[in-house]
Every structure is written in C-alpha cells, then in structure tokens.
Amino acid sequence: MALLQISEPGQSPKPHQRKLAVGIDLGTTNSLVAAVHSGSPKTLADEQGHHILPSVVHYQADGVRVGLEAKQQAADDPENTIISVKRMMGRGLHDIQQQGNYCPYRFVDNGGMPNLLTCAGEVNPVQVSAEILKVLVARGKASLSGDLVGAVITVPAYFDDAQRQATKDAARLAGIHVLRLLNEPTAAAVAYGLDQRQEGVIAVYDLGGGTFDISILHLSKGVFEVLATGGDSALGGDDFDHCIAEWIMEQAGLNAEALSTSEQRSLLSTACKAKEALTDSNEVEIHFLNWSGMLQRTACDDLFQPLIQKTIRAVKRALRDADLKVDEVAEVVMVGGSTRVPAVRQAVSSLLCREPLISIDPDRVVALGAAIQADVLAGNKRSDDMLLLDVIPLSLGLETMGGLMEKVIHRNTTIPIARAQEFTTYKDGQTAMSIHVLQGERELVEHNRSLARFVLSGIPPMAAGTAKVRVTFQVDADGLLSVNAQELSTGIESTIEVKPSYGLSDQLISTMLQDSYQHAQDDADQRNLKEQQVEAERLLEAITSALAEDGHLLNTEERQHVDREVAQLRQLAQGENAAAIKQAIEQTAKITDEFAARRMNAAVSKALSGHSIADFDTEEQR
Amino acid sequence: MLELKQNYFELFALAPSFAIDKANLAEKYRALQRSFHPDNFAAKSQQQQRLAVQCTAHINQAYQALRSDLLRAEYLLKLQGADPQLDSTTVFDSEFLMEQMALREALEEVRSAIDTEVALQELQVTVDERLKDLFQAFSNLWDQKDPAALKQAVGIVQKLHFLTKLQQQVSELEAELLDDF
C-alpha cells in the first residue's frame, strides 16, 4: 500500500515536462481522439484530414481495415464488416439478438460474450474495439509526436459493470494505459462547463448512435458533481434508422426475410441518409430497389415519437432521482449526432423550458471533454482547477434466498464507494458459499444483469449460522466493481473465484496479448520489466517524500523496517528480474500500510484547513 | 482495507449534532475530495491509486451518512451505542399506528381519486409535514443528552423509517402516474 502525496491546496506539483495524453470517444457509430494543445482541446485528424473515424472494422484474410475504408465494405461484405460493435460489449448473444437490430454476423455462442466468425477467424467484440482504439492511439502519437502516458476513454454513463470492464479490456489489448473511464455526459459537461464557467444545475442529454444517456450535474467552483444519471444502453440513432427502414419496407411492400444481407445494409444506409436529409428540409425523396417515394418530416417525427418519448421519460426519472424540479435546471447540453434530429431538440426544449446548448459540435464535444480530463489526470494541470465526482448508474447487489436481489450499493451513489455485507452459513460444516453478484433495479434476480458468480471456499467447518463472512463491494473511480471476502470469526481470508458472466477472463486476455505480440515475446518481457521498474520508481519516490515530510509519525523501529524494505526494493529495481521486483513492490507497499493510514488521518485536517475559515463562513450565510 | 479513524463528524470537523449546516458540509466534502480523489493520483503508483480509492470511498460513505437526515439520526444513535435497526422489539403507540393505516389507505385511494394529481400532492404534503415534525422531535431529544431522551429518540427513528418508506412509495406512485402522460 502506499502513501498519498498531498500537495498543499493552491500549490502546484513539481514543475516537469508536459505529459502527452489523449481523450478518446469510442462511439457506437463514430470514434474520435482529442488532446489539449496550447491550452485548448482539439480533435486530431488523420493524414487525409478526417477527424471522425467510423467505428467499423473490416476483416480480410490478409489483415484488418478500420474506419472509412472498412465502412465502404459494409454493403459488399457485411459478414466480415463489423459495425456498432459497442452494442455487443459485455453482452451475451441473447442480449444482442434481443436488441432487435439487424445483425448479419455469424455468431459463435460460447455462453458469454459471443465471438464473430470472420474470414480472419473468430474475433470477439473486445478485440474488434481494440482495433479501433489502436488506430486512434496511433493517430494521437503521430499528431502529438511522442509517447502517450495514457488515455481517458469515454463510456455511456448507463454502461453496467460488464460493459465498462469490456471497454477497459479492449484498451488493455490495444496497449493503452487507461487513466480513467469517463462517462460521456460528464465529459460533455466538462467541455461546456469550463468554456462558459457555469454554476448551477446542468442536464446533459446524450443521444448517440446506439446509446442514450441523461445526466443531471451540479457545478460549483470547478467541481462537477453528478447527481443522477439514467438512460438506455440500447437506444440510439440506429433505432431511428430502423424506424425509417421499416417504413420503407412497409411502403414498398417488402419483408426483411426477402432481402439479402447487402440489401438490408443498403436499406439501412438509405434510411440513415433520409434521416439526415430531414434535419434541414421538410421532405425527402427516397429510392430503394425499384421503389421510390416521399417522406415528410412530420410523418418521420411521428415514426420517431415512441423512441423520443422513451428518452423524455428517462429525463423525468433522472430529475426525480436528483430531487429537482424542471425549472431548477440552468442549462441543457445536447450531445451526440442524433440530437440533430429536430423533433428531439423540440421535445427536450419543451420539457425543460429552455433552448439547449448546441454551440460545440455534438459529435466532438465528448472527445473534447475527455481530452481536458486526460490533461488533468496526466498531471499537467492542478486538480484544484477541476474535479469530477461521478456516480454508479445501476444498483449493485447479491442474490438472496428465493431468487430475490438484495441491493448493496444503490444507483446514483457517488463513486468510489465501498460497502460490506455479512453472510452466514445455513448448513452445519458448510465450507463454501456461492455468491451471485447482480446489477440492476428490479426485484427478481432474473430481471437483473448477472455480473459474476463467486465461490467462497476455505470456510472452516462450523455449526450453521456461526461462520461470519464479510463480503466487501468496492467500486473504483472508473465505476468498476471488485469484491473481496473474509471469514470473520476465525480471521481466515476466504479465496474468491471470479467468473465474469459476460467478460473475458484475465487469462484469455493475456493469451490474446501474447498472440498479438506474436513472435515478439521478448518485447513483451522487456515491456513487463520496464513497467515494474517504473512502478517501483513511483513507489520509492512516494515513500521518500512521505518520509521527508512525515517521518516523525514512525517510531525508530518502524522507521528501520521501512528503510530496510526501501533499500531492498531499490536494489532489485536496478536488476532485471521482473517477478522479484513485483513481489518487492507488493511487500514494501504492505509494510507501509500503517504509515500511510496515519498520514491520511493527519492530512484530513490539513485538507480542510487549506480552505480558510472565511470560505466556510460565507457558505454558511447563504 | 484502510479506513480513516475519525468518526464521520470528526472527518468533516463538525460537532456531533442533528442540526448541521448542509452547505458547510458540502463545502468540506468537496475540499476533502479535492485532496484525496483518485484523479489526483492517476499518474502515480498503483498503490497510491488504490489507497486514494479506499480513502474517497470512506469520505463518500461519510458524506452520504451525514447528508441524509435519517441516516444522520441513525449514525448519531450508533455513536451512542444504540442501534434502532437491531432493536425491533419496540411497540408503537396506537395513535401512530392508526395514523399509518390512514396514510396507507390514502395512498391506495390516490389511483381512484377524481384528480389523482391533487390527491397525490395532498398526501405528499401530509407525509412531508409529519417527517419534519419527527425530525424536529429527534433533534430536541438529542440535544437533551440524557439516557431517557436517547431511548425516546430510538423510537422516533423507527417511526421515521416507516414514514420514509411511505414517502418513497408515494414518489414511486408519482413516477408511475407521471410516466403515463
């Protein structure tokens, strides 16, 4: 464990070289990469000057194409061209088919996230996403001319644990250090909030290609506090296209089964073009196969109404969750290409009684916000300037007797958060316990999402009801859950087996990583060593400055113990044994635990006194 | 797992009382978050990041416990060794029980009311006022600082649980009716 370096409020950290970091908007339809350059965030273009990278991956026998080139293959080679892969992240085959979208892929069901059969072999959605990320990161490196310390990747606020984990795994496969998974609406608010220095309540309405999010935030002196979030992780512009596509088929007297996969794809792209045309004109002429006809905007609005109403209900719910009335919302931010649909803008502005903000390109605003956050996290800016406090979008809980879900952490709880729950055995001599972790709001287990099943083993045999197992849920700042368990009566730590229901196991990821390095095993070893050395360096630096500042918190004996560990770690870090360095890091961290705890306690009052009493007084008078 | 040693009131440098200045609490919460939030450590060692997560988790939990009136009342009792959740033997006075039954009846009748919105609002006002009275009563008892008052305060918190649950059901019903528009 470690020692937090707490810089005095108002004092910036050590001057150092500017670190390069990017913000990535990994979208359903399109992706973008952005970075802060000379103080302001900009999206980065490829060599041809394109900023937007279509989130499309085309597999061929001899390689992979990503982006525009891949998109052009969509109609000709639908089975090998993966679009909207984001909808498959952290999802089972059943979920994907239930989304009701047309999917020309050849799925291979393996119980968890399904693989897709392409002419380059089986690939899973995490690998497909990793291909998109690789292109974006390469673009970042090229345009910033240097190595990146990491990236902030945005996810829909409404993404559950499995979807977030899958996104982080994709980054790992692409070799990216994830500084933070940031919620898309929060990123958008950052892009707007800092530009316009708003204080008060902001609603962010984010309707992208495949997902819908609504977030209610409170802004105060650079602190973005998410009050409530809601949405639908399977509702977006694609669904609008499907509405029009169905209308065309109805008008043309066609049915979906009669169309070939390329015809289906061409139908969708015709529908999408019609939708886009109707943003600026009142009617559009549509041609599909031998049929042609006119679609009026008013008729189109009627087609969209059920979808739009679904989003409006989510906005109302989020406001209720935040305990706010419609008139308390100071600003409305529109994000995502689908907010260009006039009927959407109209519905939102009539509900919230104000004109939404649209001054930043809704396609780029998320990436721009992510770039700002990446710049802060890389250490280029004082965190005093800006702080994001996000929430968990869906409740986390456990299966209890009778197939019911018991919530352990409620939705809209600010993260990071930890909660413990105690369980006991129900049979004499029981030595193992099976625990089912769930996410969702419904009462019955089957209506919620299964995240993982844990088997706690090694419980000492005791009479029923005497063993006490404490299960701790911890959600980190990325919104990712980890669970640990301990048998309390004996103090024995029980081992946990984690089986992610819709994720990839760590082992599978390592295998994929190795495969992707192919013959470069030596490179991988070298990289691992380098990583451990950097990690050791960071820890040593942290301990050294902690000792200099707060060495008096340790007695002589404790101090000697720490010094010995530090010396040993320093020596090992100069060698080439990665495993030994890793072990020494863990041990050093462990023995400095207590020291760190003491420092934290000392630091609390320091953090509060950093603000003058006058600040608090003014607050009180309000 | 690391936990800050202070109790929640100490953590925010507040006196342990029911009446608190929420704006002041929020300000101090943000000050602590600025110092300890994992975002400050994203480029630091993994151990520092882990510690920051544990630390902020504790700060968040403390903030939630103090920000909510009911949770704060419960926490105050817990600090005194009284846990309203464990003590389930309390028998409510018949006046309270009668009132609860009447309120639940009113909740059921909202659906069939001629003007559901008005009926809903009336019920909300009644429940909110009852809650306000009970919180005031708790605050007064707490300030007396004697064992008899503490025991009474435990009873109040149990009543508060009843009413808070009812309040939740009222807003769930509101959500249901609202969504029909």
Q: Does A142 touch chain B (CB under 8 A)?
A: no
Q: Does A312 touch chain B (CB under 8 A)?
A: no
Tell me A18's DSSP state: P
pLDDT reading at A497 higher than 60: no
Is the pLDDT higher at A211 or at A512?
A: A211
A-B Cβ pairs (cutoff 8 Å, strict): 167
Where residue A430 falls among pLDDT bands split at 50, 70, 90? confident
Residue A194 — very low, low, confident or very high, per pLDDT cuts 50/70/90? low
pLDDT of residue A462: 85
Q: Which of A177-186, A244-253, A400-409 has the lowest mean pLDDT?
A: A400-409
The distance of Cα A339 from the centroid of its chain, to the nearest Å, equals 22
Could you give the CA distance from residue A615 to residue B174 in angstroms, rounded to a whole number?
Answer: 39
* A14 confidence band (pLDDT: 50, 70, 90): very low
Assess whether A25 carries a catalytic annotation: yes
Contacts of A519 (CB under 8 A, 6+ apart): none
Say if residue A340's pLDDT is above 80.
Answer: yes
Instruction: Report the Cα A588 to chain-centroid distance in Å.
Output: 31
Do A142 and A148 meet the contact criterion of CB atoms below 8 Å apart? Answer: no
Contacts of A147 in chain B (CB under 8 A): none
Half-sphere exposure of A59 (CA within 13 A, CB side): 20
Burial class of residue A172 (count of CB atoms within 10 Å of its CB; 0-12, 13-18, 19+): buried
Q: Residues of A with CB below 8 A from B12's CB?
A: 608
Average pLDDT over residues B70-98: 80
Report which secondary-structure segment, H or E, holds A88.
none
pLDDT at A182 over 80: yes
Mutation to test the B interface, candidates A16, A20, A414, most B Cβ within 10 Å: A414
* Contact (CB<8Å) A387/B37: yes
Rounded mean pLDDT of A94-117? 81
Report the gap between the CA of A611 and the closest CA in chain B (Å): 7
For residue A153, the cross-strand partners are A24, A181
Interchain contact, A600 vs B12, CB within 8 Å = no
pLDDT at residue number A384: 60
Q: What is the pLDDT of residue A621?
A: 37
**Cβ neighbours of B35 in A, within 8 Å:** 6, 9, 603, 606-607, 610
- As a whole number of angstroms, the distance between CA A71 and CA A78 comes to 10
What single-letter DSSP state applies at residue A414? B
Identify each DSSP E strand in A425-575 by its residue range.
Answer: 433-439, 449-457, 468-475, 481-487, 495-500
Give A425-446 as a 3 state SS string.
CCCCCCCCEEEEEEECCCCEHH
Considering A339-348, A584-593, A613-622, the range whose residues carry the highest mean pLDDT is: A339-348
Is the pLDDT reported for residue A444 higher than 60? yes
Max distance between CA atoms of chain B, in angstroms, equals 63
Instruction: Give me the helix-helix angle, A578-591 and A556-574, nearest 10°.
Output: 160
Catalytic (active site) residue A558: no
Contact of A454 with A483, CB cutoff 8 Å: yes
Q: Which amino acid is at B10?
A: E
Q: What is the pLDDT of residues A47-62, one digit of tens each?
A: 999 999 999 999 998 8
Whether the CB-CB separation of A43 and A368 falls below 8 Å is answered with: yes
- Among the partner-chain residues A221, A317, A620, the one whose CB lies closest to the CB of B24 is A620
- Could you list the beta-strand ranges (E) of A282-386: 283-288, 291-296, 331-335
Q: At what angle do helices B147-179 and B94-110 cross, to 10 degrees?
A: 10
Cβ–Cβ under 8 Å, residues A85 and A59: no
| CB crowding A243-270: b at 16 or more within 10 Å, else e | bbbebbbeebebeeeebeeebbbbbbeb
Query: Complex ipTM, two decimals?
Result: 0.84
d(CA A266, CA A254): 14
Using a 10 angstrom Cβ sphere, with 0-12 exposed, 13-18 middle and 19 or more buried, the burial of residue B4 is buried
Work out the average pLDDT over A200-215. Answer: 90
Q: Residue B4's closest chain A neighbor by CA? A: A601
Reading the block at residue B32, the tokens are 């602590």
pLDDT of residue A509: 67
Q: In A208-316, at which residue ranges do the beta strands (DSSP E only) sit?
A: 212-220, 223-232, 283-288, 291-296
The pLDDT of residue A619 is 37
| C-beta neighbour count of B82 within 10 angstroms | 17
Q: Which of A95, A131, A206, A232 does the annotation list as catalytic?
A: A206
Is A275 part of the annotated catalytic residue set?
A: no
A416 in contact with B, Cβ within 8 Å: yes
As a whole-number percent, the residues of chain B with pLDDT over 70 amount to 91
Please tell me the predicted confidence (pLDDT) of residue A520.
53
Chain A hits for B58, CB-CB cut-off 8 Å, are: 418
Determine whether the interchain pair A316/B55 forms a contact, defined as Cβ–Cβ distance below 8 Å: no
Q: What is the mean pLDDT of chain A?
A: 85
Q: Residue A612 has what pLDDT?
A: 40
Question: What is the average pLDDT value for chain B, to the nearest integer?
Answer: 86
pTM: 0.84
Identify the residue with better confidence: B56 or A523: B56
Choice among A46, A71, A77, A86 that is catalytic: A86
User: Residue A15 — very low, low, confident or very high, per pLDDT cuts 50/70/90?
Assistant: very low
Using CA atoms in the order A557, A563, A569, A573, what is the torsion angle rounded to 10 degrees? Answer: 180
pLDDT at res. A112 = 80
- To the nearest whole angstrom, how far is the Cα of A510 from the nearest Cα of chain B? 20
* Cβ within 8 Å, pair B27-A417: no
Percent helix, strand and coil across chain A, each rounded to 5? 45, 25, 30
Residues of B in contact with A416 (CB under 8 A): 38, 53-54, 56-57, 60
Higher pLDDT, A347 or A210: A347
Is A184 in the active site? yes
A126-141 tens-digit pLDDT: 999 999 999 999 999 9
Length of chain A: 622
pLDDT at A512 over 80: no
| Neighbouring residues of A592: CB distance < 8 A, sequence distance ≥ 6 | A1, A2, A3, A543, A562, A565
State the pLDDT confidence band at B4, using cuts at 50, 70 and 90. Answer: low
Number of H helices, E strands in chain A: 16, 27
DSSP H helices in B81-115: 94-110
Tell me: the pLDDT tens digits for A533-558? 888 988 898 888 889 888 888 899 99
Q: What does the pLDDT read at residue A85? A: 93
Separation CA A304–CA A301 (nearest Å): 5
Give me A449's structure tokens. 């999402």
Question: Which positions in chain A touch B44 (Cβ < 8 Å)?
Answer: 5, 538, 542
- Judged by DSSP in three states, A324 sits in coil
Average pLDDT over residues B23-48: 86
